[in-house]
Amino acid sequence: MKKIIKYVLLDLLRNRIIIAYTIFLAVISLSVFNLEDNPSKGILSLLNLVLIIVPLVSIVFSTIYVYNAAEFIELLVSQPLRRVNIWLSIFTGLASSVCMAFLVGCGIPVLIYAPGDTGLTMTAMGVLLTMVFVALPCWHRY
Amino acid sequence: MVVPDSGFITFNKRNIAHNWQYRSAIGYMPQIGRYPENMTIAQVLDMMKDIRKQNAVQLDEELIHLFKLDGMLHKRMGTLSGGTRQKVSASLAFLFNPDVLILDEPTAGLDPLSTEILKEKIRKEKQQGKLIMITSHFLSDLDDIITEVIYMEEGKLKFHKSLDQLQLDTGEKTLSRAIARVMQTSVI
């Protein structure tokens, strides 16, 4: 199982959309914090944006990825592997790469500009949202 | 990806439902080989070797060499042509020396030279007593490598007989003409 996760991650970390998503999030968070004097206000604006963008990108990206990987998953199913393990590793690979993009793009600016409980809560919320919305297409196909 | 609604399949006299270990005795070559785009050929091969790590089994890398894949191991799967991807799929199916090989349209998209290499390989494995199932539309490719014919139409089995018997029944020499005769008369 670890092996499939490793190769799914290797594939995804070089994915253009993941890289673009990271840069997009970083630009948004940096500009939001630099436009406001008060970091609390900044984090509120960021929260509003994250609440919309994160679920949208997570669900669309993972749906497209899972559908494009249909033939590859078929090949994995023909190998001596358990079905549950195949899907769990695809989910883990997808979720960790999208979470990583979120943490780099949003988590780091938040930690720099608004460290503390609120910032941490927002980062954790973003990660959980990502996992839930990546899980949806995986679960649907499984 | 599909679990059957009814019926069952037995492999080595055992029902395969809820069993997955049996797949280590099968090599499968899909009709459409699509792999994660950013993976290189070497990574795909390594991943399969990782998944099916069996110490006892000797890896059969003959096809990788014959198809000259070792020269382009660093290429990404997304940049390969259909034929090259087909070669990767074929090499993967034969890599682990499985007892049973299931090849789904193996010659589709392959150039004539590679088709001959693959046919030669199939013939060789057949002589070692392996069970090889081929589905194909190119019947002329199959003439000299098969022994039995299973003909299905719209999901229903029409007949299952040896090639010699089929030739005898239809009076035709080549497989494609024999099948054409069967489809024309549709009485057998």
Low-confidence ranges of chain A (pLDDT < 50): none
**Using the beta-carbon criterion (under 8 Å), do A10 and B33 form an inter-chain contact?**
no
The DSSP result for A94-116, as a single string, is: HHHHHHHHHIIIIIHHHHHHS-S
Å between A48 CA and nearest CA of chain B: 34
- The nearest alpha carbon in chain A to B30 belongs to A75
- The nearest alpha carbon in chain A to B1 belongs to A74
How far apart, in whole angstroms, are the C-alpha atoms of residue B127 and residue B141? 18
Contacts of B179 (CB under 8 A, 6+ apart): B139, B149, B151
Confidence of residue B187 (pLDDT cuts 50, 70, 90): low
- The pLDDT value recorded for residue B14 is 80
Å between A15 CA and nearest CA of chain B: 7
- Element holding B23 (H helix, E strand): none
What residues does each domain of chain A span? 2-141
How far apart, in whole angstroms, are the C-alpha atoms of residue B88 and residue B97? 15
Mean pLDDT value across residues B171-181: 82
Mutate to test the interface with A, among B24, B39, B92 (most CBs of A within 10 A): B39
Task: Name all domains of chain B by residue range, CATH numbers in brackets.
Answer: 24-137 (3.40.50.300), 147-188 (no CATH)
Contacts of B28 (CB under 8 A, 6+ apart): A75, A78, B93, B101, B102, B104
Closest CB from B36, B37, B52 relative to A80: B52
How many CB atoms are located within 10 Å of the residue A61 CB? 22
Mean pLDDT value across residues B119-137: 88
Mean pLDDT value across residues B116-133: 88
- Chain A contact present for B20, CB below 8 A: yes
Which tens digit of pLDDT belongs to each residue from B47-90? 888 888 766 667 888 888 888 888 888 888 888 888 888 888 98
Contacts of B128 (CB under 8 A, 6+ apart): none
**Using the beta-carbon criterion (under 8 Å), do A10 and B35 form an inter-chain contact?**
no
How many CB atoms are located within 10 Å of the residue A23 CB? 13
Percent of chain B with pLDDT over 70: 96
Mean pLDDT value across residues B124-151: 85
Which tens digit of pLDDT belongs to each residue from A54-94? 999 999 999 999 998 888 888 888 888 888 888 899 999 99
Å between B187 CA and nearest CA of chain A: 36
3-class secondary structure, B131: strand
